[in-house]
Amino acid sequence: MKSSRSHANGNCVEVAADAGTIAVRDSKDPGPRLRFAGAAWRAFVQRVKG
């Protein structure tokens, strides 16, 4: 999923749900992804939102 706030220059973070985990990567680098358990991702997002 690509953020609606992303610009055409490709500088964004992509996030996708995949087999019970959340995969995160840099849009400019299709290489390895960071994977998080659902609970860990929800905790991260809650902390970021404050």
Q: Is 38 among the domain residues?
A: yes
1-50 pLDDT, tens digit per residue, is: 566 776 677 678 888 998 889 999 988 887 889 999 999 999 999 999 98
Distances, alpha carbon 44 to alpha carbons 31, 40, 48, in Å:
22, 6, 6
- Number of domains within the chain: 1
- What pLDDT is recorded for position 1? 59
Which residues span the domain enclosing 24? 13-49
**Angle value at C-alpha 42, between 41 and 47, nearest 5 degrees:** 100
Q: Is 17 among the domain residues?
A: yes
CA 7 – CA 23 distance, rounded (Å): 21
Q: Is 27 among the domain residues?
A: yes
Q: Is 3 among the domain residues?
A: no
CA 49 – CA 24 distance, rounded (Å): 17
| 46 in Cβ contact with 33 (< 8 Å) | no
